[in-house]
A and B are shown apart, each in its own frame.
Chain A
Amino acid sequence: MSTAPGRTVFPGPLRSVLTAPVASRANALHAGAWWLWALGLAVAASRTTNPLLLGLVVGVAGYVVAARRTDAPWARSYGAFVKLGLFVVALRVLFSVFLGSPIPGAHLLFTLPEVPLPSWAQGVRIGGRVTAEQVLFAVYDGAKLATLLICVGAANALANPARLLKSLPGALYEAGVAVVVAMTFAPNMVADVARLRTARRLRGRPTGGVRAVLQIGLPVLEGALERSIAVAASMDARGYGRTARVPAAVRRTTNVLTLGGLLGICAGSYGLLAAEGAGYGLPLLGAGLLAAVAGLRLGGRRTVRTRYRPDRWGARSWLVAGSGVAVAVLMIRANAYAPEALHPGVVPLAAPELPLLPALSVLLGLVPAFVAPVPEENP
């Protein structure tokens, strides 16, 4: 029916308003809300190297994922991101150990044999002294990156990337579909690898080892390519890429507006981030955004597509997105009043302390675990 499911929530007993409803398509949170929340946490994480605060951010993200993720295949990606995060930490430490670090340190852990380098490679070191300070610094730094990755993983697990597409402006939709289809390439390849390993087992061959990988590689790529072509054929047969006729003038204006707008956005954000151009950054960014939006609006005329049940941005979406933004803002503010607690020193070595206020502000990120609709347990 054309009337959307009602937004009017009758103010019944307070309890029924406050407890989160069972998730369904009608009350699904806007995918953008989840991304904003996760990006908020990521911004907060990028503003501190305190391992306790970072751990808290990971814990908050993990708790919300555990409380609100579904059984869908994309929701399983969280674990992969956590592993990737740990890998990043390990890699960062390894690099620091082997390539040295500018951090001065007094606590010598061990000394690696140093590779003698010619004089023109001055400043580069391979091997040599490894101090506790330098390792600790690498761990802090790696943990920051890992936390960023885990936040992205949380967004991935909680919001279906395809849903985000529905919110794209019409003009970008087709490019977006192409991106999403390309993104399914990786999971499909993982499935292919599993299938081929099974096949190897059925044929009585060992499933591990370099030879196995080489023998599996080619068929996997072949299979992935074939599937892409099949999906493309199916999309074409189902009307992907149908366009409406628009006058040439409109088309040209669209191109000019979009391109100009994007350039403006680039230049504007450079101005904002770089030290010298703060003055013209903001107006340029604003003008660029306006032009780009107008261009996309105009470009939307070319597409005939309509949208089926796009996600609505309701009160719960506001709360989820708001909690992420709040965490980010509070952490940026905390940098002003407690910089040393957020960036614990490594020289001299000291145990990091948990600053109370910033910690409380990170806990705000738990809001989605109470307001987002609860996914139904699959049987």
Chain B
Amino acid sequence: MIRFENVSVRYEEDTEPTLRNLDLTVPEGELVLLVGPSGVGKSTLLNAVSGLVPHFTGGTLTGRVTVDGRDTRTHPPRELADVVGTVGQDPSAHFVTDTVEDELAYGMESLGLAPGVMRRRVEETLDLLGLAELRDRPIATLSGGQRQRVAIGSVLTPHPKVLVLDEPTSALDPSAAEDVLAVLQRLVHDLGTTVLLAEHRLERVVQYADQVLLLPEAVMGPPSAVMSVSPIHPPVVTLGRLAGWTPLPLTVRDARRRAGGLKERLEPLIGAGVPAGPLPHPSPHARGHGGRGGGFSLFSRRRRRPQGEQPHPATPLVLTASLHVRRARVEALRAIDLRVDPGETVALMGRNGAGKSTLLSALVGMIAPTSGTVRIAGRAPHATDPRELIRQVGLVPQEPRDLLYADTVAAECAAADADAGAADGTCRALVSELLPGVADDTHPRDLSEGQRLALALAVVLTGRPPLLLLDEPTRGLDYAAKARLVEHLRALAADGHAIVLATHDVELAAELAHRVVILADGEVVADGPTAEVVVSSPAFSPQVAKVLAPQPWLTVEQVERALEEAR
């Protein structure tokens, strides 16, 4: 269906080609997963299929790409529109019309399908993607996950033979991601659609793939074979490798079947002082009794219930009391009581549109509470001078690019130093520490997703705020970049910074957070230690917890450490 023959792509300004001598054939009706570190050319490869590379992006493509027998050299993207449907990384850049129903119909209108057919397909697609209630809504009012589904729906309606998706689930909450993937699988199985998708969150998608294409090596093969050699792999594979299971399990179900032996080995290790997270847990309740996380174990944590009345010596960094926020007619937050102490890492989870970002905005004072109070280190953030506030709290927004507006990395760093009143070079040193190899004169726009996040984080950290807020920090990050981020955040937490992160990434929450707060419809529905909250709900539990349930392990790292200590 898709053939690449000796394809190389090179953009003018680069010395190295982005893709080099790529040969590959994707047979009809397969779901092929593209795996590789960021910046390896995944998006370029995907766009070459739809003809946007090189017709739209410029650059030189040598070799031949054919889709369903059509050469992309002679067929511009619009002539391929009936065979290839493409959704890029940012769904909001994809929309042409302004309401959901029109958007779903747009592609079909361009192809000139009959009105009756269009109507039928729109109705089908609305049901398929669960968009029926949103059909008349303006796209501008949709949440991120809803937009992603509309974007996918809009390319499904013309019934293309090939579907090309760039990170379709990274903006979605776990259950919305499962819905989207289930739809893709149904398309592959029922309609024989060929799907080519790139995704960093392998734990979500690898079990659906028929083939995995590993870049930059350009090795294609069945998932279990590729995963056994791939440097990038989901936790379940890491666990499988650790335990020496062959063939490697790719799904939680497969892994559970083989996990008997491992569970037996782990059983005596539980509760023997093995820390749940890599950090001693600085729970305020533990600290209230004088110990900074000492003698802490999973079981004792289970028994401990949050007790609001306990006296605390330190002022909490975040304290909200029955916080309500209304935006127009929408009650975005209702009666939020949240307390975060220094050194604590809290993960905010919940479905798309549950109010996570709104809560973070309220904490940095971008939104004034409609009623109730917010106190950051004792002050009301919306009434504090921004210059003052950045020494108390820093937010890295969902789109780190929003925070950057100088034209070079160096200028950005200099500005950050000036803003925070820090010594010259503070920010630059932070960037190098977070991510070595970012050149001074690069434009922030040309950085990769991970680099941009590192830069935004450095800019925020320059003020050394005791409270750090992160909105979806792992979007677009590969496992290596994510591991570096986790390490750095742990170091900050150990340093006494409090971190609040809104995320859909359950693996990240398991690795990092001491406490998980789940929001639904603007209300807190669960607030407790990570192990407890995450394990009690299947949608939010990490793969390792699912495999080793009912044992309380959350990450491969914990298992690894426990096994090592036992030795």
- By a beta-carbon cutoff of 8 Å, the part of chain A in contact with chain B is 1-3, 24-25, 71-74, 160, 162, 177, 181, 184, 195-196, 198-207, 215-216, 218-219, 222, 226-227, 230-242, 304-309, 377-379
A24 and B115 in contact, given A204-B463, A239-B78 (Cβ under 8 angstroms): no
B150 to chain A, nearest CB (A): 13
Q: Tell me whether A201 and B386 are in contact (CB under 8 A).
A: yes
Mark out the residues of chain B between 134 and 180 whose CB falls within 8 Å of any chain A CB in the assembled complex: 135-136, 138, 140-141, 154-155, 158
Min CB gap B527→A, angstroms: 26
Residues of chain B contacted by A3 (CB below 8 angstroms): 116
Residues of B within 8 A of A160 (CB): 98-99
**Alpha-carbon separation in the docked complex, A181 to B50 (Å):** 22
Q: Which residues of chain B are within 8 angstroms of A235 by Cβ–Cβ distance?
A: 96
Q: Is the CB of B389 within 8 A of A204?
A: yes
10 residue pairs of the A-B complex, CB under 8 angstroms, read A204-B391, A204-B419, A216-B405, A227-B93, A231-B93, A237-B84, A238-B78, A238-B81, A306-B112, A308-B119
A90 to B416, CA, bound (A): 42
Q: Are B395 and A202 in contact (CB under 8 A)?
A: yes
Q: Which 9 A-B pairs have the closest CB atoms?
A: A2-B116, A239-B110, A239-B81, A204-B390, A308-B105, A230-B93, A304-B112, A219-B405, A72-B138
With contact pairs A25-B135, A234-B96 given, residues A203 and B459 touching in the complex (Cβ less than 8 Å): yes
Chain B residues contacting A216 (CB-CB under 8 Å) are 405
Most interface-central of A202, A205, A240 (chain B CB within 10 A): A202
Among A2, A202, A215, A308, contact of B394 (Cβ-Cβ < 8 Å): A202
Q: How far is the CA of A305 from the CA of B108 in the complex (A)?
A: 8
Residues of A close to B445: CB separation below 8 A: 222, 226
A210 to chain B, nearest CB (A): 16
**Contact in complex: A238, B107 (CB < 8 Å):** yes
A204 touches B386 (CB 8 A): yes
Complex contacts, A204 vs chain B, CB 8 Å: 386-391, 419-420, 463
Known: A203-B459, A236-B77, A237-B52. A305 touches B93 (CB 8 A): no
CB distance from A226 to the nearest CB of B (A): 8
Interface centre among A203, A233, A241 (most CB of B within 10 A): A203
Instruction: Please tell me if B113 contacts chain A, counting CB pairs below 8 Å.
Output: yes
Identify A181's interface contact among B96, B101, B118, B391, CB under 8 A.
B96
For the complex, give the distance between the alpha carbons of A205 and B418 in Å.
Answer: 10
Residues of chain B within 8 A of A231, CB atoms compared: 93, 95-96
B residues contacting A by CB (< 8 A) are 50-52, 55-57, 76-82, 84, 86, 88, 90, 93-99, 101-102, 105-120, 122, 135-136, 138, 140-141, 154-155, 158, 328-330, 364-366, 386-391, 394-395, 397, 402-405, 415-416, 419-420, 445, 459-460, 463
- A47 vs B184: C-alpha distance when bound (angstroms): 60
**A3→B88 CA distance, assembly (Å):** 35
Cα–Cα, bound, A207→B140 (Å): 25
Contact yes or no, A203 B419, CB < 8 A: yes
Q: Which residues of B are found within 8 Å of A241, using beta-carbon distances? A: 78
B20 to chain A, nearest CB (A): 24
Complex contact B50–A237 (CB within 8 A): yes
Which residues in B have their C-beta under 8 angstroms from that of A234?
88, 93-96
Q: Which of B79, B80, B138, B415 contacts A73 (CB 8 A)?
A: B138
- Residue of A196, A222, A240 near B78 (CB, 8 A) is A240
Is B110 a contact partner of A242 (Cβ separation < 8 A)?
yes
From A1, A219, A308, contact of B109 by CB (8 A):
A308
Which chain A residues border B403 with CB–CB below 8 Å? 199, 202-203
Shortest CB-to-CB span from B526 to chain A, Å, is 24
Chain A residues with Cβ below 8 Å from B90 are 230
Q: Is the CB of B88 within 8 A of A206?
A: no
Interface contact B397-A202, CB-CB below 8 Å? yes
Contacts of A1 in B (CB 8 A): 116, 119-120
Most buried by A among B50, B110, B113, B117: B110
Chain A residue, CB-CB nearest to B136: A25
Q: Which of B97, B110, B140, B389 contacts A305 (CB 8 A)?
A: B110
Closest CB-CB distance, B130 to chain A, in whole Å? 17
Decide: A306 and B386 in contact? CB cutoff 8 A: no
